[in-house]
Amino acid sequence: MAEPTATDRIFPTLTPGQIARIAAHGKARPIRPGEILVEAGDQGPPFFVVTEGGIEIVRPAGDTETLVVLHGPGQFTGEVNMLSGRRSLVRARATEPGEVIELDHDNLMALVQTDPELSEILMRAFILRRVELIAAGVGDVVLVGSAHCAGTLRVKEFLTRNGHPYNYIDLDRETDVQALLDRFQVGEGDIPFLICRGDRVLRHPTNEQIADCLGFNEAIDTAHLRDVVIIGAGPSGLAAAVYGASEGLDVLVLESSAPGGQAGSSSKIENYLGFPTGISGQELTARAYNQAQKFGAQLMVAKGARRLACVRKPYAIEIGDGPRIPARTVIIATGAEYRRLSLPNLSQFEGAGIYYGATFIEAQLCGGEEVIVVGGGNSAGQAAIFLAQTARRVHMLVRSGGLADTMSRYLIRRIEQSPSIVLRTHTEVVALEGSSHLERVRWQDRQSGEVETHAIRHVFVMTGAAPSTKWLDGCIVLDEKGFIKTGPDLSKEELAEAEWPLARPPYLLETSLPGVFAVGDVRGGNIKRVASAVGEGSIAIAFVHRVLQE
């Protein structure tokens, strides 16, 4: 039999046996020519398999349409939003009289969770179709911004990490956008702005406003009591979601930004098991996100936990002025936040010359230029090696006398071998200069006291992170650095003071509050690696089962 082509994988034709298995989960119904089966913007659209006739998928723009694909007998509609229940980006219309099998979201989820062969065909097609939509910029968002604007970078990252396609108009390159700006009366302070779902204009929006406009969280019932609410969608939270949902738990993940966590800002993770040539953090976590959704976990984005109501059970998680989300058990996977340089005007340049991640997006901004990487840990080493591929020169600034104590040996060797990386020991950044974008950096040799000024416009700060635990507000025992204490690390005295109510001691990864677990970088004593975060996320689920049975 011939190998399937790329088109076969994106738009496969199902066998009669496969169609019969799908039919068992849905209902057959006739279609009329011109009948709209899904409208662009419909939330949680149904899934259709054509058994007779045809369905065209078009992308509407004003009064015109662009044909995306024509599905014939044996082919099916849908892409990634079928799993998330988010809004449709395209219109589906019958082209001739015929018949389809229709499945709603719940029945489709039941199908992919119980039929491994169809699950693989559908998942692969949905993901490849989304990749095509992203590559073609087919979406319901136009982002207008500038590479010199921190907000633009943030919004790009938010949309990218949510796997949401968008078109980008770069104000620095497009000289002809004035008419567009006038039409929407957009001033400099309104940049970036977003044209959302056709005509709604969001000026300098927050991630939450974008998520609301695009309906990212619309399909989620916040009043429903979950078996487990996971807070944070980095590797540890996503692992807990995959294992929890795949083992039949009712899982909701709350994420204050977008899925991926710190790992999402890593250009290439080379030490995660099973990826000998490395994988970008974004790709790894995007896969995990789809996997969690496949098993039925739900994910709320741009909704951070502000407080844990921990006095009585079920616990409740407050998300701003919005609802309190009830939970039988809670997994805290909020990771850590980047340490910042203590310079008075730092925030002026964040995203406009100061970056905390070195991904493809940032690398594009500084191609052919000199850049600085601050820090001597593994993330700094990876960033320097990655940036050296596109930057003219990478200055690595470390306060200590060398890298040996803080960085893996393989990275040190690559840094030494790279002609475009210059290691500057005993050196720190002492001043930043510029207006709308960073233009110059001053650094000081701590031994000689000598200060040099360099016309460098990009600084990557890779100096570690502090735990995201302030929001817990005394509910849970923390260590002296603010990381969460769990299991055997909690002393008898600490448990007594926290009024631990059970005869048994806390399980491994359980905090001083029964049924509340901590995993990944936010946990005291955690090894700050993707693998350990993923491992802890999966282990916590085993204990969640035990708590739910108590």
Ligand X SMILES: Cc1cc2nc3c(=O)[nH]c(=O)nc-3n(C[C@H](O)[C@H](O)[C@H](O)COP(=O)(O)OP(=O)(O)OC[C@H]3O[C@@H](n4cnc5c(N)ncnc54)[C@H](O)[C@@H]3O)c2cc1C
Within 196-235, the residues that bind ligand X by CB under 6 A are: 231-235
CA 250-537-247 angle, to 5 degrees, is: 35
Q: How far is the CB of 528 from ligand X (least distance, A)?
A: 4
Q: How far is the CB of 325 from ligand X (least distance, A)?
A: 11
Task: Kindly give the residue spans of alpha helices, DSSP state H, lying in 227-357.
Answer: 235-246, 281-294, 346-349
Taking the C-alpha atoms of residue 414 and residue 403, their distance in angstroms, rounded to an integer, is 12
Taking the C-alpha atoms of residue 19 and residue 11, their distance in angstroms, rounded to an integer, is 15
Taking the C-alpha atoms of residue 377 and residue 373, their distance in angstroms, rounded to an integer, is 11
Q: How far is the CB of 386 from ligand X (least distance, A)?
A: 9
DSSP letter, residue 410:
H
Q: How far is the CB of 545 from ligand X (least distance, A)?
A: 21
Residue 538 binding ligand X, by CB under 6 A = no
Q: How far is the CB of 546 from ligand X (least distance, A)?
A: 22
Q: With respect to ligand X, which residue has the nearer C-beta, 44 or 261? A: 261
Taking the C-alpha atoms of residue 260 and residue 87, their distance in angstroms, rounded to an integer, is 22
Residue 269 binding ligand X, by CB under 6 A = yes
What x-and-dash track marks residues 449-468 binding ligand X by CB under 6 A?
-------------------x
Whether residue 476 contacts residue 487, with contact meaning beta carbons closer than 8 Å, is answered with no
Within 103-122, the residues that bind ligand X by CB under 6 A are: none
- Select from 45, 261, 351, 353 the one that contacts ligand X (CB under 6 A): 261
Taking the C-alpha atoms of residue 256 and residue 302, their distance in angstroms, rounded to an integer, is 4
- Select from 77, 81, 146, 236 the one that contacts ligand X (CB under 6 A): 236
Q: With respect to ligand X, which residue has the nearer C-beta, 112 or 263? A: 263
Among the candidate windows 95-103, 199-207, 333-341, 443-451, which touches ligand X by CB under 6 A?
A: 333-341
Residue 335 binding ligand X, by CB under 6 A = yes
Taking the C-alpha atoms of residue 158 and residue 485, their distance in angstroms, rounded to an integer, is 31
In 3D, which of 158, 332, 319 has the Cα closest to residue 236?
Answer: 332
543 Cβ contact partners less than 8 Å away, ≥ 6 residues apart = 507, 508, 509, 510, 517
**Six-digit token string for 232:** 């944070």
Task: Kindly give the residue spans of alpha helices, DSSP state H, lying in 370-512.
Answer: 378-387, 409-417, 492-497
89 Cβ contact partners less than 8 Å away, ≥ 6 residues apart = 40, 59, 79, 81, 133, 138, 139, 140, 165
- Select from 7, 15, 271, 345 the one that contacts ligand X (CB under 6 A): 271
Residue 305 binding ligand X, by CB under 6 A = yes
Within 373-392, the residues that bind ligand X by CB under 6 A are: 379, 382
What x-and-dash track marks residues 480-519 binding ligand X by CB under 6 A?
----------------------------------------
Residue 357 binding ligand X, by CB under 6 A = yes
Amino acid at 174: E
Whether residue 460 contacts residue 383, with contact meaning beta carbons closer than 8 Å, is answered with yes
Residue 291 binding ligand X, by CB under 6 A = no
Q: With respect to ligand X, which residue has the nearer C-beta, 210 or 231? A: 231
Which segments of 197-339 are extended strands (E)? Answer: 200-203, 226-231, 251-254, 298-300, 307-309, 315-318, 324-332, 336-338
Q: How far is the CB of 295 from ligand X (least distance, A)?
A: 18
Number of residues that bind ligand X (CB under 6 A): 37
Kindly state the helix (H) or strand (E) to which residue 100 belongs, with its residue range: strand 91-103
Residue 257 binding ligand X, by CB under 6 A = yes
Among the candidate windows 45-53, 85-93, 290-298, 521-529, which touches ligand X by CB under 6 A?
A: 521-529
Residue 307 binding ligand X, by CB under 6 A = no
Q: How far is the CB of 185 from ligand X (least distance, A)?
A: 33
Q: With respect to ligand X, which residue has the nearer C-beta, 112 or 336? A: 336
What percent of the residues of the chain are helix, what percent strand, and what percent coil, each to the nearest 5?
Answer: 30, 25, 40
Among the candidate windows 66-74, 87-95, 171-179, 522-530, which touches ligand X by CB under 6 A?
A: 522-530
Exposure of 263 in the CB half-sphere (CA atoms within 13 A): 38
Among the candidate windows 54-62, 97-105, 327-335, 449-457, which touches ligand X by CB under 6 A?
A: 327-335
Among the candidate windows 15-23, 97-105, 260-268, 391-399, which touches ligand X by CB under 6 A?
A: 260-268
Q: With respect to ligand X, which residue has the nearer C-beta, 21 or 529? A: 529
Residue 254 binding ligand X, by CB under 6 A = yes
Q: How far is the CB of 58 from ligand X (least distance, A)?
A: 35
Taking the C-alpha atoms of residue 242 and residue 295, their distance in angstroms, rounded to an integer, is 7
Q: With respect to ligand X, which residue has the nearer C-beta, 168 or 275? A: 275
> Residue 485 pairs with which residues in a beta bridge?
none
Within 466-485, the residues that bind ligand X by CB under 6 A are: 468, 471
Positions touching ligand X (CB under 6 A) are 231-237, 254-257, 261-263, 265-266, 269, 271, 304-305, 333-336, 357, 379, 382, 468, 471, 520-522, 528-531, 533
